[in-house]
């Protein structure tokens, strides 16, 4: 699991449960990228992915979302 912050403030069990709810029955399609405000009031991000391909897809969808801010439907 990749974490970009000083201290992980979310329970590991919650992150594992979130991971288990992603993807399909196949283990090679699981993953998430979670942006949140931690308990110190700071922006934080954590991610977990089964493969590098899933990680790249998650990164791309963030790029699409950020670049389309201001449009009516950012994910179309």
What pLDDT band is residue 76 in, cutting at 50, 70 and 90?
Answer: low
pTM here is 0.74
**CA–CA distance, 66 with 58 (Å, rounded to integer):** 12
pLDDT digits 0-9 by tens, 3-34: 454 566 788 899 999 999 999 988 889 999 99
* Segment holding 48, helix H or strand E: strand 43-49
Which pLDDT score, from 0 to 100, does residue 33 have? 94
């Amino acid at each position: 699991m990749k974490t970009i912050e000083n201290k992980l403030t979310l329970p590991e069990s919650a992150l594992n449960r979130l991971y288990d709810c992603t993807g399909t029955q196949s283990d090679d399609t699981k993953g998430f990228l979670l942006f949140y405000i931690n308990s110190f009031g700071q922006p934080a991000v954590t991610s977990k992915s089964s493969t590098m391909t899933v990680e790249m897809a998650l990164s791309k969808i963030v790029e699409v979302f950020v670049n389309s801010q201001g449009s009516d439907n950012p994910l179309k």
